[in-house]
Amino acid sequence: MTLEKEMLKPDRPDWHDVEGLTDTEAAARLRIDGYNEIPGARRRTLTVIVRDVMTEPMFILLLAAAAIYFLLGDNAEASILLSFVIVVIGSTVYQEHRTERVLEALRDMTSPRALVVRGGGQQRIPGREVVRGDMLVLVEGDRVPADAVILAQRNLQVDESLLTGESVPVGKRHWLDGDLRLQPGGEDQPYVYSGTLVVQGTAIAEVNATGPKSTIGTIGKSLQGIETEKTPLQLQTGKMVRLLAALGLLLCALLIVVYGLTRGDWLDGLLAGITLAMATLPEEFPVVLTVFLALGAWRISRRRVLTRRVPAIETLGSATVLCVDKTGTLTQNSMNVHTIVTGEALFRVPDVTDTAPLPETFHELLEFGILASEADPFDPMEKAMHALAQRYLSGTEHLHDDWELVYEYPLSAEMHAISHVWRSTHGDEYVVASKGAPESIADLCHLDAASSAQLAQQVEALSSQGLRVLGVADARYSGKEWPSIQHDFAFRLLGLIALADPLRPAVPSAIARCHAAGIRVVMMTGDYPGTAHTIAREAGLRADTLMTGSEIDGCDEAELAARIRTINIFARVVPEHKLKIVNALKADGEVVAMTGDGVNDAPALKASHIGIAMGGRGTDVAREAASLVLLDDDFTSIVEAIRLGRRIYDNLRKAMAYILAIHVPIAGMALLPVFFGWPLIFFPVHIAFLQFIIDPACSVVFEAEREETDAMLRPPRPLDEPLFGVWNLGLSLLQGTGVLIWAIALYGIVLSRGATAEDARALAFTALVIANITLIFANRSWKRTLFASLHIPNRAVWWITGGALLFLALALFEPQLRQLFRFGEADIAGLLLAVVAGIASVAWFELFKLLRGIRFS
């Protein structure tokens, strides 16, 4: 495919004139060159996961215990422990591999996308699938997916700071014969480079290097050493693990010394110490955290919200303010022209079934509205105007496909209007078409006071219906140099075009849910104040007061922070205003979630606690600045993500509380018999058995648990609230202590009545397993009672319960397993007593729920 393309006009890219590669050609090149990826951080393959598991402390302790049994000549128990080692490796590898696959899928889903032309049509594909020879369509806000040569461009400016360190964007031109391959940086080059950012203009470029062969690929190896920063929850959990591990090691050392001194058997003492180490080792904490956050991101993705940064999941439940755009988020982003006005004449656009023609009076207004728009529009408003023009002006002299666009004045913070300068096919003058905010068009037309007042009255009447209103003007120009600003043209006001963008039907109920959850919703829009107020009222926003962008400009930080506490609607705002709003809310102590889609939204998205980029209409730079990406641009998806964020955090807290609670009786029953002079209750085989209940319970049962009934009826949790607060820590320790007291008391009483150690051990272990299962059911909800939770579906809890009871029965009644576990022959009356003791040890927690006024359903 040659670089010369006569049909492409260098000043006006048009992808319609490009065929691009066929899908077959692209697939062949992908096989040859590989994926368009640079060397990055090491991904955990199955081999890496197995290697990491084999260095885990629990694995090493099991091997040490097996080695001691071999030294003692107990080959049967050693062999059983080695088989447990295999099962532990298998279950851990399965869980971690499952988590890694979820993370891999999320990485693929959140990776940048590329717009290419293949087979004559546009396709949006993953950036990693771009190949040599692909035709890229680049627009403002895109991240360039590969090194490419520019075939045609218009006003193209690219930020190459990622490669050069220079923050000032550089201008680009199209390729000419004789151009050499250059390095990034410098003006007027015909190349774009992978990883750089289009900040202005459009272009068509042919890919000439991908992956490791691209410019950024040559430095990609430096990314391999970059470690991901730990989240606040990971830091908290790491601190808890270190504390418990240190306490466990201290108790193990103490146990070995006491056992060796009092009983004179240091090898058995070492075995008892290993058992206690296995009982106290808090290995589940980091595993559970990883599983919950990974699967949480996956669950949120099923609600059409992608997680780009894991800490966002932790923060979702703390959001107190949700700042959202109106267009496309609260509304459907499916605009249609509702009314057009020129002078005193008004035309309400009828249903498409009405075949009556458009009155001649309005032809010129619609004609120049089209001339001020893109020929191949992306913006929904421009699409709506094109559709209306095709309906009424098709085949007339008012559509000018043969005119040439020669200059463009883009929208700016100072002037909310766009002007296109056209060279017509007749006459020597240039034709200028402008559209934009009515007040900006009025300013361009230099209207007198009376005309401005009349225009404002018309705009107010239209915007009060929730319509978005644009002004349209035209001018003629015969100069030799383009004016530096649009004001220098002699514009004439043609009229107004009002567009309807209906509210999404589910928005009012979603906003009501936010209010019930203590979340304030703030709407930010570039629309006219009347339009913003009407839409806000329909959506159910608290819309007593409104603030405009010009008022924000007139406030200092203190004044804005004071006013912003009572204002939920911001109209006529630009991205710079959004940043001020976010910073003011943060300064007032709010936890801010914010939506955005444009290049200039990136600073505000980054400044907010939870940046939410629009996946449908958003730019790459907005998505990269955000923590979450909203695939369907729908407000209700944000509310669902907040609900799931609260659920994930609640369930994580329950799982952590359960882990801490169950380790208390296990550690206590491994330690206390040594100090009381009793026979040991636990040996490594018992701890390994209990791990088969604990591990899946904390990482599967609680992760799959539904949210509490009041999840969206309570205020957001404080952002700095610890996972293990005094209340949660105390409750967990009380649960564990209750189980320990009942189980150890049962063991001591049975021994005191003359029973053998084997009989007492069987009853104490049975009581502990039953208490463990009861703890799982009790902690499924801290709001509902255990019996109410039975009606809530959770298949995992029944599988684990059934499996635990089955294996307990085998250990109690199967002779060889009974010998392995050092159990006496089962006594039905004794076992019933153990079951009662296990259930009773947790029953107080159910009474506690009832005393706090919790309902049964």
Q: What is the DSSP string of 150-208?
A: EEEEEEEEEE-HHHH---S-EEB----TTPPP--S-SSSBSEE-TT-EEEEEEEEEEEE
8 A C-beta contact, residue 701 and residue 780: yes
User: Which percentage of the chain shows pLDDT scores above 70?
Assistant: 84
Strands 610-614 vs 336-342: parallel, antiparallel or unpaired: unpaired
Model confidence at 857: pLDDT above 50: no
> Does the domain formed by 1-225 have CATH 2.70.150.10?
yes
Amino acid 223: pLDDT: 42
- Neighbouring C-beta atoms of residue 811, cutoff 10 Å: 21
- Domain 233-301+641-851: which topology? Calcium-transporting ATPase, transmembrane domain (1.20.1110)
Amino acid 591: pLDDT: 93
Look at residue 114 and give its three-state secondary structure: strand
Model confidence at 392: pLDDT above 80: yes
Cα 547 vs. chain centroid, distance in angstroms? Answer: 30
Average pLDDT over residues 78-93: 64
8 A C-beta contact, residue 218 and residue 212: yes
Which range scores top for mean pLDDT: 269-273, 402-406, 517-521? 517-521
Query: Is 325 part of the annotated catalytic residue set?
Result: yes
Model confidence at 855: pLDDT above 70: no
8 A C-beta contact, residue 301 and residue 641: no
Model confidence at 224: pLDDT above 80: no
657 backbone φψ class: left, alpha, beta (φ>0; ψ -120 to 50):
alpha
Q: Spell out the CATH class of 305-332+504-633.
A: alpha beta
pLDDT, one tens digit per residue, over 339-391 is 999 999 999 999 888 888 899 999 999 999 999 998 878 778 898 999 999 99
Amino acid 182: pLDDT: 61
Residues 6+ positions from 190 with CB-CB distance below 8 Å: 149, 150, 172, 173, 174, 175, 176, 179
Amino acid 760: pLDDT: 94
pTM assigned to the model: 0.76
The DSSP symbol for 143 reads: B
In which band, very low, low, confident or very high, does the pLDDT at 309 lie, cut at 50, 70 and 90? confident
Which CATH code is given to the segment(s) 336-500? 3.40.1110.10
β-sheet bridge partners, residue 614 = 630
- Who has greater pLDDT, 631 or 68? 631
Which range scores top for mean pLDDT: 52-56, 315-319, 351-355, 699-703? 315-319
Q: Which H or E run contains 306?
A: strand 305-307
* Residue carrying structure tokens 């799959």: 704
Picking from 550, 523, 524, 553, the residue whose alpha carbon sits closest to that of residue 440 is 550
Residues 6+ positions from 86 with CB-CB distance below 8 Å: none
pLDDT, one tens digit per residue, over 463-489 is 999 899 999 999 999 887 888 888 889
Amino acid 512: pLDDT: 95
Residues 6+ positions from 14 with CB-CB distance below 8 Å: 8, 152, 204, 375, 376
Cα 452 vs. chain centroid, distance in angstroms? Answer: 46
Instruction: Let me know how long the chain is.
Output: 857
Q: CA 469, CA 457: separation in Å to the nearest integer?
A: 12
Residues 6+ positions from 480 with CB-CB distance below 8 Å: none
Strands 610-614 vs 569-571: parallel, antiparallel or unpaired: unpaired
In single-letter form, the type of residue at position 38 comes to I
Domain ranges of the chain: 1-225, 233-301+641-851, 305-332+504-633, 336-500
pLDDT, one tens digit per residue, over 749-761 is 999 998 999 999 9
Amino acid 46: pLDDT: 64
Which position among 134, 142, 147, 325 bears the catalytic label?
Answer: 325
Strands 569-571 vs 417-423: parallel, antiparallel or unpaired: unpaired
Model confidence at 510: pLDDT above 90: yes
